[in-house]
Structure 1
Amino acid sequence: MKYTNAKQILPERLLAEIQHYIQGESLYIPKQAQAYRKWGSLSGGRQALDRRNDAIRQAFRHQSSIEQLAEDYFLSVDTIKRIVYAKQK
């Protein structure tokens, strides 16, 4: 997380008001709700994991064992179980 000196960016009146409530401590200011993006939405990581998980479910439906899938995808048996037994959206 990047820290910015409030004195450098906030108007003096706003800084004085914030100092009324908190002084010399770190203050986290969250993004506005519309600014949030889900994990992996920009990089494509989420889509890649979804495709991988779909392939794992498909292979499981076609009689691949959980142990074999764990070996094929370099994942733990518990992770494979979580993927194949999870309720679909």
Structure 2
Amino acid sequence: MKYKKAQDVLPQYMIEDLQKYIEGGYLYIPKKEENKKSWGENTSTKDELNKRNKEIAKKHKNGKTIEELADEYYLTGYSIRRIIKKVDL
């Protein structure tokens, strides 16, 4: 999140009204509900994790053990099991 100076984006009368409630403090203004994006929507992270998870499930189906996959992907055995259970092949 990037901070912006109120005087750069708001008219003076609005700044004066806001100062009555929170002078000198920080104020977070949330996005409108229709403008919110889900996690990973702005980057390729979500797609990359889905691809990785399918790869893990496929390797397990082809005979790799939970422990081998955990070592290969630097994850816990619990995480590998959760991924395998979640991914549909």
Question: Structure 2 length normalisation: TM-score?
Answer: 0.74
Equivalent pairs, count: 88
Q: 1:34 to 1:75 in 2, by over 3 A?
A: same
Q: Give the match for residue 58 of structure 2.
A: 58
Question: Structure 1 length normalisation: TM-score?
Answer: 0.74
Q: Give the match for residue 24 of structure 1.
A: 24
Query: Residue type of the partner of 1:56?
Result: I
Aligned alpha-carbon RMSD (Å):
2.3
Judge conservation of contact 2:60–2:66 (CA < 8 Å) in 1: yes
Q: 1:30 to 1:19 in 2, by over 3 A?
A: same
Identity across matched positions, percent:
34
Q: Give the match for residue 79 of structure 1.
A: 79
1:7 aligns with 2:15: no
Higher relative contact order (CA 8 A, sep 6+): 2
Separation in structure 1 between the aligned mates of residue 22 and residue 42 of structure 2, nearest angstrom: 35
Separation in structure 1 between the aligned mates of residue 68 and residue 87 of structure 2, nearest angstrom: 22
Structure 2 portions without partners, runs of 5+? none
Separation in structure 2 between the aligned mates of residue 48 and residue 9 of structure 1, nearest angstrom: 36
Structure 1 portions without partners, runs of 5+? none
Query: Residue type of the partner of 1:77?
Result: G
